[in-house]
Structure 1
């Protein structure tokens, strides 16, 4: 459906009394069935009892829908989605008083003088780089009536790292920041929120401090906001307009800019992804992951500026703004039970599915896609699925991820059940380790088992082709066919021969040399090599190919990777078994791309054939997608 825009007419559903207070759009040219399918699936599986969503583009609502019992005015505790709002309240205090982002704690809270925490800067408290532990030690919880009481509880706690040296996601440090704002303004935080933000933004159903018979609780800035879809959309409108709402200045444009700027800078980000939502949820490898109270999801690599920002909550609420697409939106819900489900769904890390699906829709090529995770050994694989019919599984190449199949995924979904996924160690699947032995083929079989697929057409390119060859060798009974592009048998040792001490020493030298050379240089050379192999149409893939390589974390060349491909082990199996699975070896032919006219693997495949695509290099599915797709569809049709 790429290039074709489906017209969906809907009647001002956001503007029935009390709905999203932005300009109406009577007829939308966008088809939101794919996003609707995703959310409806979550509610149907009872992850959420209900939900609401509103998406705005160019100040007009382009999609709004309620699920279950939810309405635009349903009050929900949105957990960390409140961090963005809390930081904005403090930003408004910075605008109104002498409080400054670089003020140390002790300037406003004298009880911290002589304590290491007294030197922490306000900006560090709001960017998870303060060194204050993320939460109170168990079993204590922050349920005091006022922030001054909460501060007394925090004061005796030791810091866990030097301020500014590390990033550790949490919420306790924000209590200190809130108390600094209280002292600077001479009012309690809930009053600050109501007077500086809630009232001018018409957030009539939002609060940090619930009013009840026991006097309420401390306003937990990091996770205590209760709000509604309507209210939060007003907040997003203000941020989107650089601090303006209904032609009135709420916070300064400079404060909005400061909140969105990289506040992590040179701080160390943990290599495990538990604290790095941007890496685990979006597959992004940049270090500038956080501002003040908000995640910097997507950034411009040239300027370093964030063009997509967000503040997801563990319970599922997800607000975001995408400046490039002039879109902002809010999904409000509260997960039932744990945030992570047995099938791999996470209400926190799964949030970007919403913004990504919206992005695909506004670009004009929506597709009803199911996203999920499958547990494999000590990790998990991210996958996407669409369409119905015989299953076709796409396996990507080295340094890339599932996005390399964009030109095939939507096309094949018209006739087949298509699945694409990120290999372990790539994209947003789990990272690899040097000491855990696995093979990509075994992971693929686990993926198939989890999706209840007995047999599938396997389509692989480069590393994906090596994995497809491994499937032919070890799991031919799980294959309907094999389509191997730019790679079949990898002529290297397999898992039967673990790395020797001498090989380990050689590998250490290679890694040291690469580090000295620089990973960015290596990526550029690798990218240019792939581009150079191409033919006359290679420029069409430049941007998307580089984006994947640039975002790749390059773990494999920087570590002693276990033998994840069978290699020579697979050859021995093929020699013995000669599987009769229908197979097509596809190669590109150009002046910069050499290949064997008689691939050795064909002598072991009685139903194997070779096809050459002229004027094409290694990345033939991206360089010449039309010819590649035609060859693939013709092959699959004949197999059936």
Structure 2
């Protein structure tokens, strides 16, 4: 289990797959309160023929360190890992907040990105009234209850309850300071007016039942992208675990395009 010390954090990551291939590495970036194991299906599928890198963001999973104050700081962590691994160019794949990190890297280090896949992600945070009320109430309810409410609504109706509970328990292990600091970071995130600068081919995969970051917000962003392909799947906000095989199939198709 390799680790890298970066600016007060110790990042845990996986770096697997062949090096003697012409294919650039895949870099998988998870979302808020998640960890690198959100990408287990994609890791298993791609690593026999392509180098695949994934990490636990600072304060998540098996990585240490306080929460970053901005999405840009998280992006700097990912770039530091790429530098450490001597990866000059890659395909970025990001889920939710991870997609915000990927967009930031594509804007600040465009030469490092060959393609990009955004999963349930957007370019500007716009909260529904219900989500806004939930976040406003976060200081008035027990932290674990707040996390449970957020994770519960991330899944489409009908997703197995026991699996939802397991993800709630995992998310509740993320320190409160990290969760709330990064909520503020996401709330401040806004690159919508700059996404036209992102010139790399981009796949946007979204869940039809995503109430956290609704499809209409993704479509608003997609209109500005010079080279974007859209896939809508029958799922909620947690596509990597709700529809892992379908997501992998979409990524596979996009990489072969």
TM-score by shorter chain over 0.5: yes
Q: After superposition, where does 1:28-427 map in structure 2 within 5 Å?
A: 371-388=1-18, 389-427=23-61
1:607 aligns with 2:222: no
Find out whether 1:432 has 2:56 as its counterpart: no
* CA deviation vs aligned residue, 1:250-303 (integer Å, no higher than 9, x gap): xxxxxxxxxxxxxxxxxxxxxxxxxxxxxxxxxxxxxxxxxxxxxxxxxxxxxx
- Corresponding residue to 1:567 among 185, 189, 193: 189
- Superposed CA deviations along residues 201-239 of structure 1, whole A, max 9, x for unmatched, are xxxxxxxxxxxxxxxxxxxxxxxxxxxxxxxxxxxxxxx
Question: Residue 522 of structure 1: CA displacement?
Answer: 0.8
2:65 partner SS? coil
Contact map agreement 2:122 2:217 (CA 8 A) in 1 = no
Looking at structure 2, the residues matched to 451 and 566 of structure 1 have their Cα atoms a distance apart, in angstroms, of: 30
1:412-469 per-residue CA deviation (whole Å, 9 max, x = no partner) reads: 1122111110112212222226889962111111111111001111111111111122
Q: Which residue of 2 aligns with 1:549?
A: 171
Structure 2 CA distance for partners of 1:536 and 1:396, relative to 1, 3 Å: same
1:101-123 Cα deviation digits (max 9, x unpaired): xxxxxxxxxxxxxxxxxxxxxxx
Distance across 2 between alignment mates of 1:385 and 1:471: 19
Matched residue of 2:215: which SS? coil
Higher helix share: 2
Q: Which runs of 5+ in 1 are unaligned?
A: 1-370, 493-509
Q: For 1:398 and 1:527, how far apart are their aligned partners in 2?
A: 10
Name which one, 1 or 2, has greater alpha-carbon Rg. Answer: 1
Contact 1:574 1:604 (C-alpha < 8 Å) held by counterparts: yes
The alpha carbon displacement at 1:605 in A equals 2.3
Give runs of aligned pairs for residues 525-536 of structure 1, distance below 5 A. 525-531=149-155, 534-536=156-158
**What secondary structure sits across from 1:630 in the alignment?**
helix
Contact 1:588 1:620 in 2 (8 A): yes
Shift of 1:377: 2.0
The answer to whether the 8 A contact 1:584-1:611 is kept is yes
- Counterpart in 2 of 1:634? 253
Partner of 1:623: 242
Q: Secondary structure at the match of 2:176?
A: coil
Which structure is richer in relative contact order (CA contacts within 8 A, separation 6 or more)?
2
Partner residue, 2:204: 585
What is the aligned length? 245
SS at match of 1:484: strand
Query: Would the alpha carbon gap of residues 559 and 478 (structure 1) be closer, same or farther in structure 2, given more than 3 Å must change?
Result: closer
Report the Cα distance in structure 1 between the residues aligned to 2:56 and 2:65, rounded to whole angstroms: 11
- Against the structure 1 CA distance between its residues 415 and 536, is the aligned structure 2 distance closer, same or farther, given a 3 Å change threshold? farther
Whole-Å Cα distance in 1 between the matches of residues 175 and 71 of structure 2? 20
SS of the residue 1:571 aligns to: coil
Aligned to 1:227: none
Distance in 2, matches of 1:405 and 1:591, equals 19
Per the normalisation by structure 2, the TM-score is 0.82
Write the distance in 2 (CA, Å) between the matches of 1:560 and 1:401: 14
Residue of structure 2 equivalent to 1:483: 117
Match of 2:145 among 518, 521, 525: 521
Structure 2, unaligned stretches of length 5 or more?
A: 127-133
